[in-house]
Structure 1
Amino acid sequence: DLSLKGVPVKKGKDRDEWPMAMCAEGGAGADIQYISPKDNRGAGSWVGNQLSTYPDGTRVKFMVK
């Protein structure tokens, strides 16, 4: 909620935040971009599946190519 506070909703777009809300670094001050809902939800689902076996608090490193 803190990362999206003050960022208006746009019809047909999702608000995507970095760092992700699921990360300890997420929240206030996150970078927000408007992207297609399909891309946002697909990526979120993929990340969630990749990390589903790790307990909360596990440190992970995201490598973006």
Structure 2
Amino acid sequence: MTTKKVTARYTVETMTAIGGDRWQRGDKDRIYTNDWERFIDLEITRYNTGNIRSAYLGRPSRPPTPSRPTS
């Protein structure tokens, strides 16, 4: 299996400008986004509960059909 490493650097200003919510308390500083997958090549399907059912990074959302052995 090949692992694809994705590196991106965003500033606090950039992340809040694209819709992120900044949270600060004490020495903690976080930015929460609800739709971050639209900024990378990520397809997510979810159950009705909101839990993730499947996720695909950098490939079509429908996995290829397994090939059948020929007899």
Q: Higher helix fraction: Structure 1 or Structure 2?
A: 1
**Structure with more contact order per residue of length (Cα contacts < 8 Å, sep ≥ 6):** 1
Looking at secondary structure, tell me which structure has more strand per residue. Answer: 2
Q: Do both proteins adopt the same fold according to a TM-score greater than 0.5, normalized to the shorter chain?
A: no
Larger-gyration structure (1/2):
2
TM-score by length of 1: 0.27
TM-score by length of 2: 0.25
